[in-house]
Structures are given as C-alpha cells and as structure tokens.
Amino acid sequence: MPRKAKLSDLLLLLKKRGLSIEQLYGQVEDVFGTPLLILASGSAPQGLANANSDIDLDVVVETGGLTQLPLLSFENGCRIEVQYHSSATVSDRIAGLMDPWPPNLRSGRVGWLQRAKGIHLLVRLASAVKLRGVPEWEGWYEQFDQPWVQSVLAKWWGVESLRYLAVARWLNHQKPILSGFRYSDAVLQALRARAAMMGETYLPVKWLVEQLQRLGDAEGIEMARHALRIPTDRDSVALFGDQCEGMVNQALADVGLPASPKIEVWYAPDVRIRAVAGGILASRWDISGVFIKSTAEGRAAMLSDPALAPIYEGDCHDDVPSFICELVEQDLVWIGVAFGSGN
Amino acid sequence: MKLVDVRRWAALRTIGASRLILKARGAINGAQGALEARQNYAAVMEARSAILTCLSIRSLAVGGSFDDSKDQLTFDPFYGLSEAEVQYALSLVGSGIASVDDSDHASTWMETVVQYVDDTEQLLGFEDPLPVIRSPNGMFASLRLAREWMAILDELNLPNPIPAEWIN
C-alpha cells in the first residue's frame, strides 16, 4: 500500500514556524470558487521538510482554465505555495492514468507530455494529506490509498530509466562524461521505480536516498551511492555504464515492465530539416545544427513527415545508423521508449 | 560592447538568467536547507543540480542548447566548455559526494558551491543582482523581467524560457 503522509508532521512544522492550521487555511482564497478539496502536499507532510522548505497546498475548485503558476504568500517568514486545480482537469488527468503505460509505439513526445502531467499531479495528490473537503471529493480522494498508485508510478519511472539508458549508450563514444551522467540518471530513475513499488509516492529525486533510508533498503542505498560517483575518463565510463546497466535491471526486477522495449527517435521541437546539395541540414531555431552527408536511406528517413512516424525505431541494443548518432550528439532529437505494435 | 552574434547574446542574458533564477538558486537554497538539517544526500543532489545548471548557463555563451527541459535527455550542459572548466565543476560535485558523511567538510564545500553559482551570475553581466524567486518580492520581480524578455525573444525567434506548465 502507498505510504501515508502524516498530518502530525505538518502540524509539527507549523508549530516550528509559529503558524496555526487556521493561518494555513487563511492562505486559500475563494476567488476561484468554493474549495472542493484542500490538501497539504510536498515535503512537510512527508516529514522531510527543513528550515528552507516551503509549505505546499493543493486546492481543487470547480473553475476551469486555471494557470499552473502557483500563488505565493509569506506568513511569519514562511513561504506558502498554493496550487489551484480545476476539478474537471484533475478528474480527467487522474482517469487518464488508467490508460496503459508504457505506451504503444508512436505515441511520441505528445503522449509523453500528457502522461507526465498526470504523473506530476498524481505525485502531488497521493503524497499529500487531506485537510478539508466536500463529501464527494473526500470520497474521490480515497482512491489514492490503493496499490494502483504504486504500480502507475513505478512503471513511469521504470520507462524513464530505459529512456536515460538508451541515451547513455548512444553518447558513450562521443560524449563520455554526458554518457556517465545519463547512466547515473538511469539508475536513479530505476530506484525511484523501486521505491514506488515499496510504497513511496513522494519521489523528487533529491529525496531519493533519504527515502531509501527510511524504507531500510540498504541495497538500493548502495546502488544510489555508486551511481552518484560518476567517472570522468572514457575508459572508466564504459565500465561504469556496464555496472549501471546491471543496477537498472536489478532495481526494475519487480516493476513488471514488458519485455523488448523499442527505442524511438523523433525530432526535438522546433527542429528544421532542409535538403541541401550533398546532404541534410538539421537545425534548431537556426542557431545551432548539423550538416549530415546522408545515404539515400538516411535521407529518406530524415525527410519523412515527422508527424507520422519517428525517424528511427529499433531494439534498445541495436546499433543505430550514423546519422542518428549525429542528431543525438547535437541534441536535435527527442528519445522515446515504447512497447507493443505500431499503428 | 560589440556583439558578434546577437541571438546568442540575447539567449545568454534571458535563458541564462531564467535558468539561474528558476533552477540554480532554488537548488542551492534547497541544498543549504538540507545540509543544515543533516539531510546530506538531499544536499548533494540539489548541489549537483545547481552545478549542472551553472554549466549549462556558461555553455550558452559557446554554442550550448537553449532547451534544457526535463524530458530532453540529449541536452548537453557541457557543450562547448573547456575541459578545465568542466573538470572543475565536476570536482565540486565529486567533493560533495565524498564529504556526504563528513558534515564539517560539507559546510566548506557548500560555500564553494555557492561561490560557483555567484560567479556564474556575474558572467551574465547584469548590473544588479537577479531576483530571488523564493523571496517575498522575487516572483513578481522575475515575472517583470520575463515580460521584457519575451518581447525580445519573440522578435528574435528564440524559445520562451518560462516553464511550459506555467503557461498551459
């Protein structure tokens, strides 16, 4: 079951800051309509807050079209951040998380962004403590005490880990230091997935080791410690990469991702492709780019309609064509991971 | 001051400043709070994030990419920087990890990291200190700056550094 946030941890923090719960409620405005649900989220009800932490509130209201810009206030020098959500958006985004993930082929960055918004919301809500609500929304909120939350979060971080791993492999020869960081990130994402399976729902990467400590996961802590020691010379990065691959597999063992992930390469947003004599000019905002002398096959792939299909898809261990490596090195692509069959 | 590449100069000032305000300063604030509470791993993670952000800001002047979105995994914060500059920053990350079990050494290390962030802000060339978004007036001061920048960025056909989730 997901770990429960504690009202007592929030109250303790409020006491330390010389604030009452009524003062906290006083930060919630009714300009967007009567609050349907008020939650305290973030590090405070997780018992992780420190002197520099702010206090986060999430408020569900009926009004639609709200900005995601948080509203800030200061009480006794304490920073309080209130995030308003429209009830329709909250319902839709959480319901959308019941769609399967990892995605089928070709959902691309648009599908990723949509899911990411849902995950971001789920983390905030599931790791929060309920303060007040109308009965209908208090009932709705009970769903976050169920194991599906762990499974959804673990699969998300598991797929993220595979995305980092793909990039780390492809950068290994040309950019070993960056590759080392991506290998490290892949392990940290996999450990987030593992922590989610063990019940943690509040998963900003900065708190990962502290969370593994409270889970008593000595093996996970050791993996994180190792992954944070990134070597900076080429030969050591290769060995480090192999070790990280092993740690990712170990950390994801119980997450239940399907076998045989496919790696997809899409153009990054705002990339412009021009066919010029002898090859292809790929650029982003026309301020940086790469000229690629291409084969007929590479030329056809690079000039295909990016709205319809990725410019490359293949098994995660396949060697990729050289033009893909050039685009990856120049940061002109977006990397996705998918499973299943294409449309 | 003669400018060779106006678009890149504008990107350094605007995108660089937004990274400093939104990411580096926030991460350093988090690192300092965590260190004080002896949450040493959280401090190291936040400092690592601040240092990588500073590298990415410095890289903007020498060909670095404008898009450091969380999902853009091929983003390279080291792009165009000298090996010495990269090695210095990485040694700061490494020192933090090495001192994670040694709180006395960790305080000295944190001072060095804060100095590195301050030095990075200096490189942006603003006369006045940039707003601190976590301060009482910081959010509105930052939004005022962003409004000025958006007009310039739009005119130069450059991306908007305001977080997409604040707009959508």
Q: Angle of helix A218-228 relative to helix A208-215, nearest 10 degrees?
A: 160
How close, in Å, is residue B113 to chain A by CA atoms?
17
Q: Record the tokens describing residue A173, joined without a space.
A: 């020869």
The list of chain A residues with pLDDT below 70 reads 105, 341-343
Q: Record the tokens describing residue B67, joined without a space.
A: 């898009």
With an 8 Å Cβ cutoff, are A177 and B74 in contact? no
B150 contacts chain A (CB < 8 A): no
- A333's enclosing H/E stretch is strand A333-338
- Chain A, nearest residue to B140 by Cα: A72
Which of A50, A208, A328 is the closest to B34 by Cβ? A50
Which of B36, B39, B67 is the closest to A210 by Cβ? B39
* A28-32, B34-38, B45-49, B91-95: range with lowest mean pLDDT: A28-32
Question: How far are the Cα atoms of A184, A265, B43, B105 from residue B102, in angstroms, in the given order?
Answer: 23, 43, 13, 6
With an 8 Å Cβ cutoff, are A268 and B63 in contact? no
- Reported as a single tens digit per residue, the pLDDT across B106-155 is 899 999 999 999 999 999 999 999 999 888 888 888 888 888 888 899 99
- Chain B, nearest residue to A212 by Cα: B41
At CB < 8 A and 24+ separation, what contacts does A250-253 make? A250/A219, A250/A223, A251/A161, A251/A187, A251/A190, A251/A191, A251/A193, A251/A194, A251/A220, A251/A223, A252/A158, A252/A161, A252/A190, A252/A193, A252/A194
User: Looking at residue A343, what is its pLDDT?
Assistant: 39
With an 8 Å Cβ cutoff, are A182 and B71 in contact? no
The reported pTM is: 0.95
Chain B, 30 to 89: residues with Cβ < 8 Å from chain A are 30, 32-34, 36-37, 39, 41-42, 44-46, 48-49, 52, 63, 65-67, 71-79, 86-87
Helices in chain A by DSSP H: which ranges?
7-16, 21-25, 87-96, 108-126, 135-141, 148-171, 176-197, 208-215, 218-228, 234-251, 296-303, 322-329
Q: Using a CB-CB distance cutoff of 8 angstroms, which residues of chain B are in contact with residue A17? A: none
User: Looking at residue A342, what is its pLDDT?
Assistant: 46
Using CA atoms, how far apart are residues B77 and B64, in angstroms rounded to an integer?
Answer: 7
Which of B97, B159, B166 is the closest to A228 by Cβ? B97
Chain B, 9 to 28: residues with Cβ < 8 Å from chain A are 11
With an 8 Å Cβ cutoff, are B71 and A232 in contact? no
Using CA atoms, how far apart are residues A287 and A289, in angstroms rounded to an integer?
Answer: 7
How close, in Å, is residue B68 to chain A by CA atoms?
10
Percent of chain B whose predicted confidence (pLDDT) is above 70: 97
Model confidence at B164: pLDDT above 70: no
User: Looking at residue B134, what is its pLDDT?
Assistant: 85
Residue B168: pLDDT band (50, 70, 90) is low
Contact assessment for residue A104 and residue A343, using Cβ atoms and an 8 Å cutoff: yes
B101 contacts chain A (CB < 8 A): no
User: Looking at residue A258, what is its pLDDT?
Assistant: 86
Using CA atoms, how far apart are residues A113 and A71, in angstroms rounded to an integer?
Answer: 23
Looking at this predicted complex, what is its ipTM?
0.94
With an 8 Å Cβ cutoff, are A230 and B90 in contact? yes
- Chain B, nearest residue to A225 by Cα: B97
For residue A80, give the 3-state DSSP assignment: strand
Q: What residues form DSSP beta bridges with A265?
A: A312, A335
With an 8 Å Cβ cutoff, are B32 and A284 in contact? no
User: Looking at residue A30, what is its pLDDT?
Assistant: 83
Contact assessment for residue A266 and residue A107, using Cβ atoms and an 8 Å cutoff: no
How close, in Å, is residue B162 to chain A by CA atoms?
10
